[in-house]
Amino acid sequence: MIHIPKAEYARRRKALMEQMEPNSIAILPAAAVAIRNRDVEHVYRQDSDFQYLSGFPEPEAVIVLIPGREYGEYVLFCRERNPERELWDGLRAGQDGAISDFGADDAFPITDIDDILPGLIEGRDRVYSSMGSNPEFDRHVMEWINVIRSKAHLGAQPPKEFVALDHLLHDMRLYKSAAEVKVMREAAQISARAHVRAMQASRAGLYEFSLEAELDYEFRKGGAKMPAYGSIVASGRNACILHYQENDAALKDGDLVLIDAGCEIDCYASDITRTFPVSGKFSAEQKAIYELVLKSQEAAFAVIKPGNHWNQAHEATVRVITAGLVELGLLQGEVNELIAAEAYKAFYMHRAGHWLGMDVHDVGEYKVGGEWRVLEAGMALTVEPGIYISPDNQNVAKKWRGIGVRIEDDVVVTKKGCEILTGGVPKSVADIEALMAAARADAA
């Protein structure tokens, strides 16, 4: 299995500590276990920031980074070994494992944190934490600070400043290293196979969930623990619901099916959308809309390169889609005026993409100092234009209504342009029809 090497976690901690102000401390909690319903937990997923700095996969843990600390800069609080609990719930690293397997300089039981952490904070001028996203943990931080304040008369020095960690950490996460791109490429390739499998399996009479099962099969077979987000399998008019989740309708001959799904590998997401005909052959109207979306995506790829700004890809899709909708008679007017009036939003109401990484909608600023961010090598993003013609749109001829198409790929900005990570799924009308025809011939 491809994964982030241990040395990379150490490099990230070092890079973060180098950016912290002198005499400061950073504190980050692991994700809590989420209860699904009585006695049943959701599959555990580590918090992305915590994972980024540690690779430590357990709940009930806290990372503490203390640049310059004599007895070690990286302190990890985590659960103690416990043969009884481990028999029921699985192995724990314990404090020895935290040091030997996860690179901690020092490790303590999480149950001792209230006694130990105030002493680590004491005398530090600044505390970095991700304030606001975890109110319960924010309260704990304040309690630890108050322990120090209560000892001020004994000479204890509480910190003077609280700094949001997000800005530093999320800017680091925005730039993907070679090891990260390798993991993302792997996730993308597994997801590409899953989409191919779903296309091959598609038949009228099956259900949306039948295709979801094909996706899940490839995800798990490829080693993914889970999808990066809830898979969308939307046939017919359901494709016009952007975050459709039911996935339970019957697949009908003559309809399109839109699948937006990607797996997660070592906490890195992939995010692919393909739209194809249930029975393997596009109608004239479906093909016209599909090829317009594809053309707009190609226009976006052409402007994704270092030096261009974040919004150029979106602007490219808007221009192609608006001009195309005019040509097809779905919009009337002059292209520049329609763009200025945002007339395309009746059909294309979302943006062309988002940062991609450990979170499917990844962290990182889209604007800096009020200006769109300039693209640099290592940034990963999706390119996902779409056209959705509402079944209730009375302004267009009936033959267009209910068609929904999105095409989504994942790219990494390279020195000269971008690398498409998800090229393993066919995309042209001819290639999709050929793949589906071949699968039908095999099955016959």
Q: What SS3 state is found at 50? A: helix
- 3-class SS string, 360-374: CCCCCCCEECCEECE
- State how far Cα 24 lies from the chain centre: 30
- The alpha helices in 246-332, defined as continuous H runs, are 284-302, 312-327
Would residue 388 show up in a list of annotated catalytic residues for this protein? yes
Nearest to 215 by CA among 276, 251, 254, 260: 260
- When asked if residue 260 is in the footprint of Mn ion (CB under 5 A), the reply is yes
Two tokens, residue 105: 């300089």
Binds ligand GLY by CB under 6 A, chosen from 122, 216, 384, 409: 384
- When asked if residue 255 is in the footprint of ligand GLY (CB under 6 A), the reply is no
Would residue 361 show up in a list of annotated catalytic residues for this protein? yes
User: Restricting to residues 81-120, which ones interact with ligand GLY according to CB under 6 A?
Assistant: none
CB of 408 to ligand GLY, least distance (A): 6
> In the complex with ligand GLY, which residue's Cβ is closer, 17 or 242?
242
- When asked if residue 271 is in the footprint of ligand GLY (CB under 6 A), the reply is yes
> In the complex with Mn ion, which residue's Cβ is closer, 49 or 408?
408
CB of 361 to Mn ion, least distance (A): 7
Binds ligand GLY by CB under 6 A, chosen from 260, 264, 359, 410: 260
CB atoms within 10 A of CB 217: 15
Question: By beta-carbon distance, which residue lies closest to ligand GLY?
Answer: 260
Binds 322: which of ligand GLY, Mn ion, none (CB < 5-8 Å by kind): none
Residue range at the interface with Mn ion (CB under 5 A); choices 13-21, 129-137, 156-164, 265-273: 265-273
Q: Which of these is catalytic: 47, 255, 271, 362?
A: 271
Q: Beta 404-406 vs 386-388: how paired, if at all?
A: antiparallel
Would residue 350 show up in a list of annotated catalytic residues for this protein? yes
Binds 229: which of ligand GLY, Mn ion, none (CB < 5-8 Å by kind): ligand GLY
Two tokens, residue 22: 């002198």
Q: Which of these is catalytic: 180, 384, 409, 410?
A: 384
Q: Beta 232-235 vs 161-164: how paired, if at all?
A: unpaired
Residue 274 CA to residue 259 CA, distance in Å, equals: 5
Rounded to 5°, the CA angle 305-308-314 comes to 95
Binds 140: which of Mn ion, ligand GLY, none (CB < 5-8 Å by kind): none
- When asked if residue 129 is in the footprint of Mn ion (CB under 5 A), the reply is no
Half-sphere exposure of residue 81, counting CA atoms within 13 Å on the CB side? 7
Residue 432 CA to residue 198 CA, distance in Å, equals: 12
- When asked if residue 362 is in the footprint of Mn ion (CB under 5 A), the reply is no
Cβ-Cβ contacts under 8 Å for 349 (sequence gap 6 or more): 242, 388
Q: What SS3 state is found at 414? A: coil
CB 312 within 8 A of CB 303: yes
Residue range at the interface with Mn ion (CB under 5 A); choices 34-42, 79-87, 100-108, 253-261: 253-261
> In the complex with ligand GLY, which residue's Cβ is closer, 261 or 289?
261
Q: Which of these is catalytic: 186, 214, 218, 260?
A: 260
Size of the site for ligand GLY (CB under 6 A): 7
Using the 8-state DSSP alphabet, how is residue 394 labeled?
T
Using the 8-state DSSP alphabet, how is residue 379 labeled?
B
Would residue 101 show up in a list of annotated catalytic residues for this protein? no
Residue window 316-355: x/- pattern of binding to ligand GLY, with contact defined by CB under 6 A: --------------------------------------x-
Residue 115 CA to residue 135 CA, distance in Å, equals: 21
Q: Which residues pair with 381 in a beta bridge?
A: 355, 411
Q: Which of these is catalytic: 274, 388, 409, 410?
A: 388
Active site residues: 39, 243, 260, 271, 350, 354, 361, 384, 388, 406, 408
Q: Which residues bind Mn ion (CB under 5 A)?
A: 260, 271, 382, 408
Q: Which residues bind ligand GLY (CB under 6 A)?
A: 229, 260, 271, 354, 360, 384, 408
